[in-house]
Every structure is written in C-alpha cells, then in structure tokens.
C-alpha cells in the first residue's frame, strides 16, 4: 500500500503545484508584494500550497494519515484486506489498456464506477442482484481520498422461491439459472492523481450470510427484498433518458446483445442525470457532494441498483445525494431501463425526501 500511496500523492502534489503556479502567474497583485505562503483552491476542490524556500512535507504527512485510515477502513466490520495485484490485473484485463501508461486506461474512471467494476471482476457473474454503494470522502493534508463501500446481494435464490410458490417447483428452472453465489461486500480506498481519477490504495472483502442480509435494511427495504422502489417515494413523471453513448473505457453493456447496461455505466448515467458528472472534450469529471460541517464517515452519496428483479431483463438504479444541511431533504435521481418491444429504452425520474418503508 505504501508504494501506491506514495506514487499517487507525489503525482497529486505535482498536479496541484502546477495548477497553483499557473494561477499565481495570473494573480494581478503578484508584483505588489512578495508572498511567502499562498494557499488557494484548485479545480479538484483540494488545497495546494506554494511555500517559498520551504520543502513540502505534505506527502509524508498525508501518507501516514491516509495509510492508517485506509488500512482501518478495509479491515473493520468483518472485512479482510485483499492484495491489490490480482485486483488491478483483472481491471486491466477488462479495460484492455496499460494502467501505467502516460494516459492510463482508467484515467476518467471515478471511484464510484471503479468500485462497481471491481466487485464484478472479483466475483462470479450473477444476473439477479442488488448493489448498494455508499461513498464518503476525507482529506489528508490537502489530499482528498475516496472511501467506497459497495455490497452485492444475490437475489436469485429468493426469486426462485417466490416463483416456486407461484407456479410450483416443477415449473421453475434449476437454481443455477437463477444464480448461485454469496452476498458480498467490498471496500475500496482511492485518491486522484495527475494520471487517474481513482488510484486504488486499499481493498477489503467480506461475505454476508443470507439470514444477515435478509434482516438488514437497504434503505427502506431489506437487502434481499424483491420489491421495486416504485412505492418508496413520490416519483415524478417519467421522462425519456437520452440515448447518447457516454465515452467510457469499460464495456457499457453486460451482454453481447446490449440488452442491459453494466452497473458501472448505470452509476455514471445516474451521476450525469444528478449533475454530479459532466462530459466534455477533456473527458468525464465528477464533482462529489460535500455536506456542510466537519468531515464524517456518513455517506454523502448512495447508489442502489437492482438488476432483473422479475422476469424482464432490466436495471433500475437510484442515486441519493446527502443534503448540504441536515435540515434539508435528500434528493433522489432514478434511471430505469430494459428491452421493451424489441427496443432498449431508459427513463428517468426524481424524488425528494426520505424513502419510505415497504409497508408504508
């Protein structure tokens, strides 16, 4: 972990120094007085400092604090730290590019998308699943780190049981068709660098027993519930989601027919719809929400994606943004889509406020 942190921090500090130098050159007051210490905010929301005649100790201080925080995050609550070599290798195989190149394959992949990609590259494929992602950030001596907890729940067994109750076991496919595999949770810690939006620093994994998952709340539903989010909020009228293809380095579709978008791509679509992610000629940039007050481990962003809850091939995702002030309501963005009458379509809607329990 130390080597990854050091490399990322050095690249980040270099990027910040360059940004600060450019901004200092444009300072109309630079000729009026000598500035020995100047602190300004760059476009990434991090602080950068130009210290005249003083060696920067920020990378060392940041490494010590970030190392401890990352290690603790991927080790607590029954998570077990995982070696990064295999994880990064699987991602490189998926992207088909050099992660160490001058312009690496994962340059524009946000911590959110990377977490979605990594959990699926590390686990066996499943078709009926629920993803629950929680994101928060923390700064370490001017370096902003992303902490992402993403859990994947296998809804195949409970879907099969419901089908058996409705149609009889003789009329229901074998368990393998519905999907066999554990409920898992992964945690990732990343930092931005000059080359990548999310350099992976640490990872941890845990398995979640079925009885625990069935008793755990995934925002107004139990984590193994097959209920949709239709009745959990006062959703606005559906609107068609544009068919524009976002320029991503990973496969946007899961199957060869393009009938279902990948969870990472749907997360990006949700980010664009919620105005957290922007796409322009320079690439894709996320502007993560930052609630008021001191930094905490409470999530500032939550994403839930349901895949194929019923018989149809479709994905339904919601993104919730924590309010800037706790007195305000939470904003939700939803995108749902699948193949209808032979055509792939997606729609979007929005809601404000807390999600309600299933039996509301």
- With contact defined as beta carbons under 8 Å apart, do 15 and 193 qualify? yes
The Cα–Cα gap between 340 and 314 comes to: 9
For residue 243, pLDDT over 90 is answered with no
User: From residue 356, how far is each of 217, 229, 235, 299, 339 by CA, in Å?
Assistant: 12, 9, 12, 19, 28
The tokens for 341 are 């009458």
Residue 293 or residue 351, greater confidence: 351
Phi-psi region of 237 (alpha: psi -120 to 50; beta: other; left: phi over 0): beta
Predicted confidence at residue 155, as pLDDT, reads 96
Predicted confidence at residue 260, as pLDDT, reads 85
The tokens for 57 are 């100790």
Alpha helices in 143-209 (DSSP H): 156-167, 175-178
Nearest to 183 by CA among 219, 220, 211: 211
Predicted confidence at residue 359, as pLDDT, reads 56
The Cα–Cα gap between 255 and 329 comes to: 37
The tokens for 93 are 């195989």
Give the start-to-end residue ranges of the domains of the chain: 63-352
pLDDT tens for 312-341 read 788 999 999 988 777 788 899 999 998 777
pLDDT tens for 67-123 read 999 999 999 999 999 999 999 999 999 998 666 666 778 889 999 999 999 999 999
Provide mean pLDDT across the span 44-61. 39
- With contact defined as beta carbons under 8 Å apart, do 335 and 270 qualify? yes
Predicted confidence at residue 69, as pLDDT, reads 94
Instruction: For the chain, give the mean pLDDT.
Output: 82
Nearest to 180 by CA among 122, 128, 215, 119: 128
Nearest to 208 by CA among 179, 181, 180, 176: 181
The tokens for 209 are 């027993």
The tokens for 232 are 């959990």
Predicted confidence at residue 19, as pLDDT, reads 45
The Cα–Cα gap between 128 and 156 comes to: 5
- With contact defined as beta carbons under 8 Å apart, do 321 and 275 qualify? no
The answer for residues whose C-beta is within 8 angstroms of residue 312's C-beta and 6 or more apart is: 338, 339
Predicted confidence at residue 47, as pLDDT, reads 31
- Beta-bridged to residue 43, according to DSSP, are none
Nearest to 232 by CA among 320, 322, 358, 352: 358
Give 217's DSSP letter: B
The Cα–Cα gap between 347 and 242 comes to: 8
- As a whole-number percent, the residues of the chain with pLDDT over 90 amount to 56
DSSP structure string for 320-359: EE--SSTTSPPEEEEEEEEEETTEEEEEEEEEESPPPPTT
For residue 304, pLDDT over 60 is answered with yes
- pLDDT confidence tier of residue 64, bands split at 50, 70 and 90: confident
Predicted confidence at residue 52, as pLDDT, reads 32
């Amino acid at each position: 972990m130390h080597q990854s942190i050091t490399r990322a921090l050095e690249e980040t500090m270099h990027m910040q120094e360059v940004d600060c130098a450019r901004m200092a050159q444009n300072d109309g007051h630079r000729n009026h007085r000598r500035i020995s210490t100047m602190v300004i905010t760059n476009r990434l929301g991090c602080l950068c400092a130009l210290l005249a005649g003083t060696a920067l100790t920020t990378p060392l201080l940041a490494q010590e604090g970030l190392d401890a925080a990352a290690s603790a995050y991927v080790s607590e609550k029954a998570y077990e730290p995982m070696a990064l070599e295999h994880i990064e290798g699987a991602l490189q195989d998926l992207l088909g590019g050099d992660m160490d190149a001058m312009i690496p394959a994962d340059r524009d992949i946000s911590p959110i998308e990377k977490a979605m990609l990594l959990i699926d590259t590390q686990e066996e494929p499943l078709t009926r699943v629920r993803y629950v992602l929680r994101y928060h950030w923390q700064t370490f001596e001017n370096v902003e780190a992303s902490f992402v907890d993403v859990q994947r729940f296998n809804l195949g067994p409970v879907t099969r049981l419901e089908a058996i109750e409705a149609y009889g076991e003789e009329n229901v496919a074998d368990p393998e068709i519905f999907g066999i595999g554990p409920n898992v949770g992964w945690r990732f810690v990343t930092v931005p660098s000059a080359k990548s939006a999310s350099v992976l620093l640490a990872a941890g994994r845990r398995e979640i027993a079925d009885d625990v998952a069935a008793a755990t709340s995934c925002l107004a539903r139990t984590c193994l519930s097959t209920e949709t989010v239709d009745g959990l909020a006062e959703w606005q009228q559906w609107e068609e989601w544009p068919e524009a293809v976002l320029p991503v380095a990973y496969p946007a579709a899961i199957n060869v027919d393009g009938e279902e978008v990948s969870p990472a791509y749907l997360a990006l679509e949700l980010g664009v719809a919620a105005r957290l992610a922007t796409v322009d000629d320079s690439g894709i940039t996320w502007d993560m929400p930052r609630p008021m007050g001191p930094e905490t481990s409470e999530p500032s962003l939550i994403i839930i994606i349901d895949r194929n809850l019923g018989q149809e091939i479709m994905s339904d995702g919601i993104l919730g943004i924590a309010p800037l002030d706790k007195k305000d309501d939470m904003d939700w963005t939803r995108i749902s889509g699948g193949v209808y009458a032979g055509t792939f379509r997606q729609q979007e809607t929005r809601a404000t406020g807390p999600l309600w329990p299933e039996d509301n």
